[in-house]
Structure 1
Amino acid sequence: MATITPMFVGILIAGSIEKATISQIFPVMYTAMAVFAIAFFVLLIVPIPEPNAATSTEPIGKLMSGALKFRHFILGAIAIFVYVGVEVGVPGTLNLFLTDPIEKGGAGISSTISGFVVGTYWFLMLIGRLAGASLGAKISSKAMLTFTSALGLLLVFLAIFSSTGSLVNLPVLQQSATGGLSFGFAEVPINAMYLVLVGLCTSIMWGGIFNLAVEGLGKYLAAASGLFMVLVCGGGILPVIQGLVADIAGFMPSYWVIIAALGYLLFYGLVGCKNVNKDIKVD
């Protein structure tokens, strides 16, 4: 869905966002409402068995405070917060950059093309996760997180320092002169290509961070997992910060926020993931 939705919305609007009318937006809203309604109906009628998870007699508050005694878990929780912000912030700001007019610092391309470019980011995340599932048994979580963070840093650095006037051809769905839609190659700034490739890096970070952060937690694992899920709110906070920077300094300079976030993830993969609290009892 994350891959298809930007493409689908771009097709429905099929033009400049500034010129989009309410009548063009209605199909998007109705489609979203239909998807949520179908999902709600399926969840309502399909029985989902509860897993036989191990239970603890200790109060949940005590378990949470116990998990927070582990330095590598605290740093890992921050890493999850930062990671989700990177995952959402990279394509979100990219979409704004591609569709904004050139005089406002954007690339000035249509929402249809932009939707397919951003959709490619999510598609690469899907490919990366499928590949990561097979590589996970052969490569350690530490090595995977370190490598993907470093590669992500390189790609974002290239995006920031490359000229927005340098163009590359990417395969997209575009609108022809007659109004029809067809696949072809569209010229987009090379910055967009580098940022799309970041999707391969972010695709396997979640599993690596989680595995490293909960290692050695024992009975505190369930409480730690709950805290992890709370911190996915980073996906709503970090992009806002990046957006504020973009309003002040421009789209590409706003990716310094992403650089800082990826730098932290690299630190966690190299140093922060080490369990220095092995003396704490977890039985």
Structure 2
Amino acid sequence: MASTIQTGQHSAVNQTGGNYRFALVSLTSLFFMWGFITCLNDILIPHLKAVFSLSYTEAMLIQFCFFGAYFLVSLPAGKLVKKLGYQKGIVTGLVIASLGCALFYPAAAFATYNLFLGALFVLASGITILQVAANPYVNALGSEETASSRLNLTQAFNALGTTVAPFFGSVLILSVATGAVGEVGSAQYEADVVKLPYLLLAGTLAVLAVIFSMLKLPTIVEHTQTQSNEQVTHNGKTSAWQSAHLVLGALGIFVYVGAEVAIGSFLVNFLGESHIGGMEEAQAANYIAYYWGGAMVGRFIGSAVMQKIAAGKVLAFNATIAAVLVLVAMNSSGALAMWSILAVGLFNSIMFPTIFSLALRDLGPHTSQGSGILCLAIVGGAIIPLVQGVMADSMGLQPAFILPVICYAYILFYGAKGAKM
């Protein structure tokens, strides 16, 4: 079913054309930015682990605070976006994310781990609002049949951000911090090195907020209209929670984000293991780009493939290969283990946007609520890495990767059957 869009005083049924092409191009900058910021956590974790002498479990509190914001903020964000519309929701998210980045300055000045966690929570709250607004917006700017393909294409730019971020973080955080080892007051100096990168991000996000407040973007009337009766009915349902494919999709988002973040969070330490790569942190950080770069390439490929092959089948195939690659990394060493775990990124690529678009299928006026539910499920990025951190402390880093394998098994189920329920 086509969505009704409105620009200025005119409304029309959306078509493949200029009505929303400009909007899609504009949105790619947002996908790039939140991918960039999220991936910087993979650099921040080993850095703060060394600065504050943290265990794996304590270091994973970084992801717990960041992705925990999705759990607390997503549903309120869905209501906010429903009320304000997608464009104003995007501007609100950018402003809050900019504030979160700015808070890294006092956190570094006081060299206090809890302040870093607080700054991350504020930053993630802004990113959550962006996710709740931007993902369904892209989904609605075109036909339902090509929604997965379209969201994969824009998410490819999200993966571009995650590919660039490790180089940025390696140069401005890990390499600078490594030079401080042995210096007097080096712990304070190592904390201070995050000031410049996050101040630059704060400024960039603030500029984007101003730009998006001035753009003329289409309004999806069907998703923002309100009725006097609070119980809006669509296909016999008064809530997105009543759609089985949405609820199962939310669990799919939970395990996918958890698996992706857990693998990314442990990559630097995994590659640093003597029997794997024996790399220094700054060197290992550069290899994270292969993991996230694979996701970028895979999304461009997936966007084209899903024009011809059903999205659910592609999702099931990728989940199977990802699980096999993690099992190989768990049970081998050296280059085989290293490249197997890095190659998982290629097959992770299409999972988030594909699950997201399949889960939002035909929700109509409940789409904003559904998007909030799916973004709430991103809390998997907080819980699963923390659980894997506990497992790594107790049973070793390599065996702990069995947790992502279990996650991919569920995604295989969702692609093959769950999305059709």
Displacement of 1:82 after TM fit? 1.1
Does structure 2 retain, via aligned residues, the 8 Å contact 1:91–1:195?
no
Partner Cα separation in structure 2 for residue 246 and residue 261 of structure 1? 17
1:197 alignment partner, one of 332, 335, 343: 343
Which has the higher mean CA deviation after the structures are superposed, 255-264 or 207-216? 207-216
Q: Does 1:36 align with 2:202?
A: yes
2:390 alignment partner, one of 226, 238, 244: 244
Displacement of 1:70 after TM fit? 2.0
Partner Cα separation in structure 2 for residue 142 and residue 233 of structure 1? 23
Displacement of 1:34 after TM fit? 1.4
Does structure 1 retain, via aligned residues, the 8 Å contact 2:291–2:343?
yes
Partner Cα separation in structure 1 for residue 387 and residue 253 of structure 2? 17
Q: Does 1:117 align with 2:287?
A: yes
Relative to 1, partners in 2 of residues 1:235 and 1:60: Cα closer, same or farther, differing over 3 Å? farther
Displacement of 1:230 after TM fit? 2.0
Partner Cα separation in structure 2 for residue 143 and residue 241 of structure 1? 30
Relative to 1, partners in 2 of residues 1:65 and 1:125: Cα closer, same or farther, differing over 3 Å? same
SS at match of 1:273: helix
2:297 alignment partner, one of 105, 113, 127: 127
Identify the residue that residue 136 of structure 2 maps to in structure 1: none
Q: Which amino acid aligns with 1:273?
A: A
Which runs of structure 2 are paired with 1:65-76 in the superposition (5 Å)?
66-76=239-249
Deviations 1:227-281, CA, capped at 9 Å, x for gaps: 1122222212211111111111111111111011111111111222222xxxxxx
Displacement of 1:25 after TM fit? 4.9
Identify the residue that residue 257 of structure 2 maps to in structure 1: 84
Displacement of 1:139 after TM fit? 1.4
Q: Does 1:4 align with 2:174?
A: no
Partner Cα separation in structure 2 for residue 158 and residue 60 of structure 1? 50
CA RMSD of aligned residues (A): 2.7
SS at match of 2:206: helix
Count of residues in correspondence between the two structures: 248
Partner Cα separation in structure 1 for residue 251 and residue 180 of structure 2? 37
Relative to 1, partners in 2 of residues 1:50 and 1:114: Cα closer, same or farther, differing over 3 Å? same
Partner Cα separation in structure 2 for residue 225 and residue 42 of structure 1? 22
Question: What TM-score, normalized by structure 1, do the two folds share?
Answer: 0.78
Relative to 1, partners in 2 of residues 1:33 and 1:65: Cα closer, same or farther, differing over 3 Å? farther
Partner Cα separation in structure 1 for residue 269 and residue 231 of structure 2? 42
Does structure 2 retain, via aligned residues, the 8 Å contact 1:17–1:99?
no
Displacement of 1:59 after TM fit? 2.7
Partner Cα separation in structure 2 for residue 48 and residue 62 of structure 1? 32
Displacement of 1:18 after TM fit? 10
1:212 alignment partner, one of 339, 345, 358: 358
Does structure 1 retain, via aligned residues, the 8 Å contact 2:180–2:190?
no
Does structure 1 retain, via aligned residues, the 8 Å contact 2:263–2:404?
yes
Which has the higher mean CA deviation after the structures are superposed, 37-46 or 21-30? 21-30
The answer for unaligned runs of 5 or more in structure 1 is 169-189, 276-283
Deviations 1:58-108, CA, capped at 9 Å, x for gaps: 5379889622122222111110111111121111112222236x4xx8754
Partner Cα separation in structure 2 for residue 26 and residue 228 of structure 1? 36
Which protein has the bigger helix share?
Answer: 2
The answer for unaligned runs of 5 or more in structure 2 is 1-160
